[in-house]
Structure 1
Amino acid sequence: MRKIAFLFVCLISIISCKTDTKNQLKTDDNSKPSTESETVVKEEKEPEVEKPKDELFTDNFDWTEIPLSSVHIGEFPYLAPPEGFFVKTKQGKPAKDGLTKFSDFGRLMMYTGEAFYNADGKMAKMLYGMTKKGKAFNKLLFDKSVDGYLESIGAELIFKGSVPRKKMYALDKIDPMAQSDYIVGRAYNSDPIRHYALNHKSGKIMFQVWSNTYGAEVGVVELEDFVQTIKAPTASEMKDDIDTNGKAILNINFDTDKATLKTDVLEIVDQIFILLDTNPELKLSIEGHTDNTGTDDRNKQLSIDRANTVMYALAGKGIDIKRLKASGFGSEKPLVANDTGENKAKNRRVELVKM
């Protein structure tokens, strides 16, 4: 019995000794002084890369990436119907001059795969049917004929597929008519659209192609720079209008869905500044107006933002902001009916109203 007790005491002593030794080692490690040879390596975090904004529009299209073509392409619209097909009106009758729709200055919204590019200039749209009555539309033959021809004249395919629905929804919020007015076919469904760019020696041309088993549509635009024909009114002309009518109506252009001043508008702002600077007693209400494109709420806010842009530009030039007031009415007060592109342009305006 004494031997067992003795062995038990020895065992307890050994375990206690090991525990003390381990604790001592741990304490020694924690208190170990650093030496010059030791290097503390800090893990450096990689800088966060800012994600690019998902822009809806782009102002830039890199034509340098499109090879220059000198192939003979004939006259506008540079595309004849394939054999067995004809261009028709929306009512199904043969279209006059082979064009369903034509505009001396129109627009196609070209999708680049990332954003929409506004291609402006001479524009035409063609709806296609089969010449033989009762015959089903031959989508395969149409596609091979049209796409093959465009490739043969040097047109580059810049997009093929369906435009993401979130892009189309965002576009609809800005302009519900953009889909039907500026993009042929149904850009968002399973039948792919094809957008081409032709960098020709005679000019820059873009094509939109869409087809399904029931028909096809092609849009073409010959790019042309917009030439502003409205001259900026002088300060004295504004003064005459205000004295006669109590207000001056100005056609101030802004980019689509934006309130930033364009370069060609700065001259008008300069003339408003001269008007106010030379007539220190004059106080003006700057009132923004839009056409009926887009939602009422968006148009109202956009008109307010644009009026504020003009007001703060004048204040930045030194005009006492107490002499100014900004307000927006959206499409509530059109000058003319919003039934044509020309009339819509008249309704997109800024009015200087005497207070």
Structure 2
Amino acid sequence: MTSRIQERNTVSPYLTFVIVHAMLFGIDFLLLTIKPVQMAGQDAWTAVLLCSAGIHIVIVMMYSFLNRHQTDLIHIHILLFGKWMGWMLNILFAGYFLLVTVYQLRLFIEVIQVWVFPEMKTWSLALVLLLIAFYIVSCGFRVIVGICMFSLLNTILFLTIFFMIPYFHFNNLLPAMSHSPHDIFGATKELTASYMGIEIIPFCYPFIKTPRKSQKWAHWGVLSMTFIYVVEVIFAVITFRPEQLSNELWPGLTKYKFIQFPFVERFEFIGSSVTVLRLFPIICLCIWVASRIMKFTFSIRQIRVLPVLLGVVFVATCFIPNRIGVDVVQSWIKLSGISVIFGYFPSLFLFDILRAKVKKTK
């Protein structure tokens, strides 16, 4: 079973780097360092490297069954598990991506409400953002990838971290490797949620020209974010003490308070607002995947199911009232993401290999 996509709807393999980078550079990057640094202290950077190594192995597994079948995960499910079981798995993935959309959208709205407009209502900003997302997604996959390019601009804003060099305390990095393996592996588990986003690759696979060549770009995308994660963790260690991070809700935004220009007094307003460039690539890709799954499951045009999915996201976002609700959704996302990346994909990889061997012996 193959999924034939017209060449005019596909993108070059190197843009896989952009897709992976955009998915891993989401809004939750702003609170990346809190729990890992609290668990592993100055050794938290080693947890980033361990987690990254595991992600690279999972990418190898994903491309193994993708290259074997030369299609996306939607069709692979039906091929391996049959029509009904395949449909159930696809719908579960659609629900998962909608949940990720709700979480990222609500997290961004919380950032705006805390840092810029405290009186802003959740529903008003959610409505505007989802209308923009509808326009982007309805334009197709190539336009969505173009929006992902804007997330690279956040890398430039990330360099503002070096404005804080006078406030760094490099002695906080010592003593090195003083934490137990238990603490480091606990931090590694917490960091796994930051690498959630690679699960989008199996659904974008047919939309990449010569998709076999895209694997190296997926690895480069993860490597680029690993470097950024390591720098961010080290920054948190040399700027805050672990007990101070307990009082920091957004360590990734706090650094903007230290930046001052003659023409900009409150740079954190700019830093918090520009995070919208991280939001749109993720929610657009997730909604696009969910609508594509519904298209093949219920034989309905993607543009018709799109308003329904956006309506579900809007209602779910408005029903998350405060930080407690955001934390609950985050725990669901973390559990389901870890299960998909380190549970389901390796299991699917092994099942596909065993199925091929059994089929060959017959």
Same fold (TM over 0.5): no
- TM-score, length basis structure 2: 0.22
- TM-score, length basis structure 1: 0.22
Structure holding more helix per residue: 2
